[in-house]
């Protein structure tokens, strides 16, 4: 029997299968008692005497440094920036994650935030509640140039979702050549176009192409970020890059806090050099910064993965990795 600490929050809020799976295999489970994201020192204090950790985005460096008992970190989610992989390898701590389960929920939220920003949905809601009724105008995804930074699992799903909106262009920026994946998507876009032409729709076909970061930033009407946080992407969207965007453009980050410099974003939007932004992730969470002052900024609570089905799948997969590990079975999604 292993002792398993769950630091991620929430856990098993709408589906108990992950917890039941652990207990049914004889493991002792203690769940985050804070009711919020734990601080690094809190993770250390609570989990140092446990064999395994089911983790969220908490910084795990103090725990890996301070625990002599920890054998496994099973990450609920895909990002690994909070896990000190080299230190884990040195200390013989295995790491697993759940890279696939999160993609549907995050990609749908990203598209929803695009529509919200461009049509000023949240602004209209707040205005009605304060007694106003100006019926604000906005733009459609159809006919827009939409930039996607990062064309992995989530970025590809976002692009696929967008086909039905018939944007003018989908611009892809990625470190590797994505021409084969783009061709598949372009073929799907062309088939969709042909089908609707037969129905008498007077639409133009979607163009999908890969561009460099400079062209992505310069030409996107709305840009959505889907890359991991690393030394190369930390503060990538600082003042110098943000000012290269069109003043009518929007920026969305559902990837990781720290990729967008929040202070620079505030100044760019406040000075009307950018039309607005939507952020689901922040440097410090919960977020208490001055972006809250801006009407054309949408702020959500790191909830990209928080659909009932995707969250349940992520938690179940993380729990299954714990059971596999202590049964001496190979990990399905092993990192190290």
Residues with catalytic roles:
256, 285, 302
Cα gap 294→79, rounded to integer Å: 29
| Closest to 13 (Cα-Cα) out of 311, 320, 319 | 311
Whether the bond into 18 is cis, omega within 30 of 0: no
Report how far residue 110's alpha carbon sits from residue 301's, in angstroms, rounded to the nearest whole number. Answer: 13
Say which residue the tokens 């596999």 belong to: 324
Angle, vertex CA 118, rays to CA 117 and CA 122, nearest 5? 40
Rounded Cα gap, residues 119 and 129, in angstroms: 17
Element (H, E) at 250: strand 250-253
Q: Cα-atom radius of gyration of the chain, to the nearest Å?
A: 22
Tokens of 2: 């292993």
Closest by CA position to 204, among listed 192, 216, 220: 192
């Amino acid at each position: 029997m292993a002792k398993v600490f769950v630091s991620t929050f929430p856990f098993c809020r709408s589906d108990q299968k992950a917890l039941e799976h652990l207990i049914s295999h004889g493991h002792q489970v203690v769940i985050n008692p804070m009711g919020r994201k734990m601080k690094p020192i809190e993770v250390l204090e609570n989990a140092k005497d446990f064999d395994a950790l089911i983790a969220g985005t908490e910084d795990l460096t103090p725990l890996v440094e301070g625990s002599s008992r920890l054998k496994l970190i099973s990450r609920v989610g895909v990002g690994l920036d909070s896990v000190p992989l080299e230190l884990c390898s040195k200390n013989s701590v295995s790491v697993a994650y759940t890279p696939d389960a999160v993609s549907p929920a995050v990609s749908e939220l990203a598209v929803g935030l695009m529509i919200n920003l461009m049509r000023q949905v949240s602004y209209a809601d707040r205005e009605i509640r304060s007694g106003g009724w100006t019926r604000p105008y906005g733009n459609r995804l159809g006919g827009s140039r939409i930039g996607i930074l990062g064309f992995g699992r989530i970025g590809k799903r976002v692009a696929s979702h967008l086909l039905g909106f018939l944007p003018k262009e989908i611009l892809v920026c990625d470190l590797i050549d994505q021409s084969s994946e783009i061709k598949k998507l372009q073929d799907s876009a062309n088939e969709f176009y042909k089908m609707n032409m037969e129905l008498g729709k007077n639409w133009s076909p979607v163009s999908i192409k890969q561009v460099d970061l400079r062209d992505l930033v310069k030409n996107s009407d709305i840009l959505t970020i889907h890359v991991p946080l690393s030394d190369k992407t930390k503060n990538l969207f600082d003042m110098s890059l943000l000012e290269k965007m069109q003043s009518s453009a929007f920026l969305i980050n559902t990837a990781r806090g720290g990729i967008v410099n929040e202070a620079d974003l505030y100044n760019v939007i406040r000075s009307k050099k950018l039309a607005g932004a939507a952020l689901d992730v922040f440097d410090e969470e919960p977020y208490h910064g001055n972006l809250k002052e801006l009407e054309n900024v949408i702020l959500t609570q790191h909830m990209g993965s928080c659909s009932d089905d995707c969250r349940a799948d992520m938690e179940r997969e993380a729990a299954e990795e714990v059971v596999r590990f202590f049964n001496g079975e190979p990990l399905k999604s092993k990192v190290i």
